[in-house]
């Protein structure tokens, strides 16, 4: 494993997080009153920007009785910024090889599964198979974290293969150095999605015992390296169910989002709120986040930030994704396969996690239209590269 010290990790949000008191934030969440919620809703109604304490109030249990009022505001703000559109994307897994031992992941290094790293010929085949599924232009390239096999040189070749097929290329792979992100931008990378998983360091250490991902500071400061590299878009996420106190986790992510926006203001941001799904690891969620709670969290993020992209993957059911379209969600995946080579063939490799919404892209698009919304397959033009 590469040794990453604090000097290499660099300065960034990890230094800010170290000044935040997790327990004090959790206590603050438990003391919110109806009066607090009404005050924040009046502020939101007036169009003023909410701060992180306002967000804390909106994700508290005290805000639950006000969910309908919150939903109406979220619908209004989403229409103002995004109209009746849902951006469509699809993930393409290029490898399930991984050096990490994340206790909840099907790609865990210790799991006895077939490991695959796609060749460039296979990447071509995957691109062609995806284009037959639907007119996708937003591709999310996903890989396990194994830099010796899938490092910057490998991903440069993958991006070169994918660029003629897709207008917008995003990656969800291991965190990299600023210079490596810059090299990937040169060959067509538009954005990066990185899941911090949890901001609670004790829980993070328990869930990531070995591998590069176990270095909390390196991962957390990766978003600063992305911002300094000049990425067009950065995606953030926590894994709901990984540790019990998801509300405090959400407050920390909202704080992180605002920090990034102030420093790297030319970059766009997205929020991902997946719930833990079954995997080969057998890890069970430490808390079950209900549909209503996920709806509250999604709506709170929309009230907190009118412009942030909020993404729902095929982890969520078709009915829940349908109901959340008017309430803040702005992008969705469809037709997803979560194993390498899953589109062009019937692979032997294991899925990273089980999907819930297995409908075809055409069915998902038809459902979106039936709700009065328009599926948008492309939101990026090569002229802007």
Q: What pLDDT, in 10s, does the model give residues 309-352? A: 999 999 899 999 999 999 999 999 999 998 899 999 865 555 54
**Domain residue spans of the chain:** 6-384
CA distance linking residue 133 with residue 90, whole number of Å: 10
Q: For residues 136-148, give the mean pLDDT.
A: 95
For residue 259, pLDDT over 70 is answered with: yes
Q: Across residues 363-376, what is the average pLDDT?
A: 96
pTM: 0.93
Mean pLDDT value across residues 210-228: 95
Q: Which of 2-6, 214-218, 226-230 has the lowest mean pLDDT?
A: 2-6
More confident call, 378 vs 63: 63
3-state secondary structure at position 52: helix
Q: Do residues 156 and 183 make contact, with C-beta atoms less than 8 angstroms apart?
A: yes
Compute the distance between CA of residue 328 and CA of residue 86 in angstroms, rounded to an integer. Answer: 10
State the alpha helices, DSSP H only, in the chain: 6-9, 13-17, 22-30, 34-45, 52-59, 67-82, 120-133, 152-162, 178-186, 201-207, 216-220, 222-229, 246-263, 291-304, 318-324, 361-370
242 pLDDT above the threshold of 70: yes
Q: What is the separation of C-alpha 369 from the centre of its chain, rounded to a whole number of angstroms?
A: 24
Tokens read off for 45: 């109604």
User: What is the distance between the alpha carbons of residues 122 and 21, in angstroms, rounded to a whole number?
Assistant: 48
The tens digit of pLDDT for each residue in 276-316 reads 865 556 778 889 999 999 999 999 999 999 999 999 999 89
Look up the CATH architecture of domain 6-384. Answer: Alpha-Beta Barrel (3.20)
Q: Is 136 helix (H, G, I), strand (E, B) or coil?
A: coil
CB count within 10 Å of CB 190 equals 22
What does the DSSP 8-state code read for residue 306? Answer: S
Looking at 134-265, list the stretches that DSSP marks H as alpha helix, in order from N- to C-terminal side: 152-162, 178-186, 201-207, 216-220, 222-229, 246-263
Q: Is-contact 98 211, C-beta < 8 A?
A: yes
Residue 258 tokens read as: 């605002």
């Amino acid at each position: 494993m590469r040794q990453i010290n604090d000097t290499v990790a660099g300065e960034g949000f990890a230094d800010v997080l170290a000044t935040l008191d997790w327990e004090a934030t959790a206590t603050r969440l438990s003391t919110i009153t109806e009066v607090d919620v009404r005050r924040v809703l009046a502020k939101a109604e007036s169009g003023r920007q909410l701060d992180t304490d306002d967000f804390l109030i909106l994700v508290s249990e005290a805000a639950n009785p006000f969910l309908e009022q919150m939903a109406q505001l979220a619908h209004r703000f989403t229409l103002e910024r995004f109209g009746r559109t849902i951006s469509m994307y699809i993930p393409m897994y290029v490898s399930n090889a991984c050096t990490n031992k994340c206790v909840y992941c099907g790609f865990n290094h210790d799991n006895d599964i077939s490991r695959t790293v796609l060749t460039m010929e296979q990447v071509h085949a995957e691109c062609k198979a995806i284009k037959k599924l639907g007119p996708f232009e937003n591709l999310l390239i996903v890989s396990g974290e194994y830099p010796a096999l899938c490092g910057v040189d490998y991903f440069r070749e993958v991006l070169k293969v994918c660029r003629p097929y897709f207008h917008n290329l995003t990656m969800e792979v291991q965190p990299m150095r600023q210079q490596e992100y810059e090299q990937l931008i040169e060959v067509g990378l538009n954005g990066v999605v990185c899941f911090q998983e949890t901001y609670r360091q004790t829980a993070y250490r328990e869930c990531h015992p070995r591998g590069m991902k176990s270095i909390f500071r390196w991962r957390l400061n990766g978003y600063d390296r992305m911002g300094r590299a000049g990425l067009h878009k950065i995606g953030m996420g926590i894994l709901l169910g990984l540790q019990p106190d998801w509300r405090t986790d959400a407050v920390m992510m909202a704080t992180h989002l605002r920090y990034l926006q102030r420093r790297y203001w030319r970059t766009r941001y997205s929020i991902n709120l997946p719930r833990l799904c079954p995997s080969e690891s057998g890890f069970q969620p430490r808390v079950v986040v209900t549909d209503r709670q996920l709806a509250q969290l999604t709506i709170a993020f929309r009230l907190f930030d009118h412009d942030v992209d909020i993404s729902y993957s095929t982890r969520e059911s078709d009915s829940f994704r349908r109901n959340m379209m008017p309430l803040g969600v702005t992008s969705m995946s469809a037709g997803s396969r979560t194993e390498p080579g899953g589109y062009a063939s019937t692979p032997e490799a294991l899925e990273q996690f089980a999907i819930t919404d297995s409908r075809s892209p055409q069915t998902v698009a038809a459902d979106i239209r039936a709700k009065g919304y328009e599926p948008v397959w492309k939101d990026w033009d090569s002229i802007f590269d």
